[in-house]
Chain A
């Protein structure tokens, strides 16, 4: 082996490492000084830390600031709004060790999915909300008062709710879709996606099977599981996805998939061929809800935030940006007044009328033993 060869290669590697450090350090130093200023200010001001889902709030523009900024200006509370929940279970696993050990989370408000919220409430890992400081909570839609995941209504307030249904690309399917059966049409073999979110996928299939997801049991879900398993064996199902079904819909890998209403409404702005339908057998109504993890340090600020977003005017801005179903009364009327948003006020996917409400079912609570069985069975099919 020529001894000088690796040496010189090493030398260039060594140099490159320093150059790399140089290139990358400059912006990071700049950013650090910026962050330093922020945290100094934060130490003096009142604070609030929120973890939520991405693209779930009005981002605002320079001339027209978003909700977070307007709230900060109004109250003087410094808000850290993190969009770091991508998956309900991954999020639960992230916070679980600290909460189980009785430690405080950095967040004052988290926005888990309803059934994760129920789990947190059952485990006594959340604080009751300071509802006396949230007068606007009275604006909560009656249909969401004291829901199955929080029977006392003391621990949670919905952030947004939505509908699980079917999204499809009309160009790829060549026809309108109407029912869950369409997902099993051999013509779409290998072009169909289901959600890794067990309650949405199985709930939709249970409805098609004539079962009631509001009162789920392992036996009543058996037909749904079997159908899913068979479809996977047949090669009908291309993938089980989280929110990334959007990537596959846009790239043309999915012709149709189980999807969430607001996502598709947002996506269809960039891909007009995308449609969303609540299947004939019915859709699943889900909710993401605000809860305060045990020992959240900034209770007053959290209450102020919840009161702010339950003001119908503020709620209308958020709803107009995210296209989901607002849990706040009076939002439709506000949107209807503005010609730019009037069409939304008539959209049954954002403001379900009585006929639509009848077609939607909330997936009911599962006992811990049943949940384990559901999860294990579902994992065996999705190949987790």
Chain B
């Protein structure tokens, strides 16, 4: 942030006036709901279908949901972790190629990363169910290539199917996370001063060495931003598990929805929501110092 000369007087209150409406909005609809959620998570329902809950400081809500949904929570984090890793493995080379070798096509290449996301999330997910269906094109291609049984041994194909398996859910999460990995990485890689690379070349560093010593470390803040932007939405997702998963691959978002909309256990749902929120914001706060914040919102 540039240090600007400040003239005294009228301009002193200006930033607060500009911040006020947005802050008010966030206070009313972000902080207040979170506070109400914490309150609800420590309350007891007076009747099964009544929405009045009495605040009793009941911490047992937390222990109960942690016992009941602990495995689902871990599964969600594992799925999100694997999806994030896959996003990195596919996304880093993509971002590298776009930023280093895109040339005049760079804007187009960047645009093409975003374009699929202009169609509806749900329509895309339903399209995946068509692609991955038992008589769909992906399985047909794999069996034509003779890859079904090797993939079955790896656990990527279960009982001759991909749809309604863990692999399909992770694949869906990876698909949806990919642009959020690529865009911050491109920003970060773009920021690297070309003179550094020239200097490395002048010192007769070879490509691999330049990458390891210069490019990789300088792209880490962007990678971290990408990891956060992929991991956090993936950990809280419920759409992919619902449409692409089976009964054994549900995620914590599905549990939250079920607690709220099916079982009507409001305090338990609130407690689970708070647990998820705390875990993920801890992750965020811990990595905030090393993060390239500008790259969070993409190029």
Contact = CB atoms under 8 A, between A and B. Distances in A.
Interface string A1-31: 1100110110010000000000000000000
Interface in B114-142: 129-130, 133-136
B129 A247 contact: yes
Given A9-B107, A368-B48, A372-B48, A238 B264 contact: no
Contacts of A251: 129-130, 133-136
Contact of A384 (B130, B163, B258): B258
Contacts of B111: 9
B190 interface: yes
Contact of B107 (A5, A89, A101): A5
Contact of A253 (B51, B158, B163): B163
Given A100-B50, A101-B51, A383 B299 contact: no
Contact of B299 (A6, A119, A368): A6
A93 B190 contact: no
Interface in B245-272: 246-250, 254-255, 257-258, 260-264
B104 to A, nearest CB: 11
B249 A383 contact: yes
Contacts of A141: none
A6 B248 CA distance: 44
A329 interface: no
A381 B247 contact: yes
A31 to B, nearest CB: 19
Nearest to B263: A375
A93 B250 contact: no
A189 B191 CA distance: 53
A119 B247 contact: no
A379 B262 contact: yes
A368 B191 CA distance: 61
A5 B248 CA distance: 47
Contacts, number: 92
Interface residues of B, number: 39
A238 B246 contact: yes
Contacts of A253: 133-134, 161, 163-164
Interface centre among B135, B161, B263, by most chain A C-beta atoms within 10 angstroms, is B263
Contact of B190 (A1, A96, A384): A1
A382 B190 CA distance: 47
A354 interface: no
A190 B161 contact: yes
Interface string A104-125: 0000000000000001000100
Interface in A342-384: 368, 372, 375-376, 379-384
B159 interface: yes
Contacts of B191: 1
Contact of A232 (B159, B163, B247, B257): B247
Chain A interface residue number, banded: 35 or more
A190 B158 contact: yes
A101 B161 CA distance: 47
Given A238-B164, A239-B164, A383 B247 contact: yes
A185 to B, nearest CB: 14
A5 B98 CA distance: 13
A77 interface: no
A196 to B, nearest CB: 8
A12 B48 CA distance: 53
B110 interface: yes
Contacts of B50: 100
Interface in B123-177: 129-130, 133-136, 158-161, 163-164
Interface string B41-68: 0000000111100000000000000001
A368 B129 CA distance: 38
A235 B179 CA distance: 34
Given A190-B161, A383-B254, A384-B262, A8 B133 contact: no
Contacts of B110: 9
B67 to A, nearest CB: 12
A378 to B, nearest CB: 9
Nearest to A255: B134
A368 to B, nearest CB: 5
Contacts of B246: 237-239
A235 B257 CA distance: 24
Interface of A: 1-2, 5-6, 8-9, 12, 89-90, 93, 96-97, 100-101, 119, 123, 189-191, 232, 235, 237-240, 247, 251-253, 368, 372, 375-376, 379-384
Interface of B: 48-51, 68, 72, 106-107, 110-111, 129-130, 133-136, 158-161, 163-164, 190-191, 246-250, 254-255, 257-258, 260-264, 299
A-B pairs with the 3 shortest C-beta distances?
Answer: A384-B258, A383-B250, A190-B159
15 contacts: A9-B111, A90-B261, A93-B264, A96-B264, A100-B50, A119-B49, A190-B160, A191-B134, A239-B164, A251-B135, A372-B48, A379-B263, A381-B247, A382-B250, A384-B263
Given A93-B260, A100-B49, 19 more contacts: A1-B191, A2-B190, A5-B107, A9-B110, A12-B107, A90-B262, A96-B49, A100-B51, A101-B51, A119-B49, A190-B160, A190-B164, A235-B159, A239-B164, A239-B247, A252-B134, A372-B263, A375-B262, A384-B257
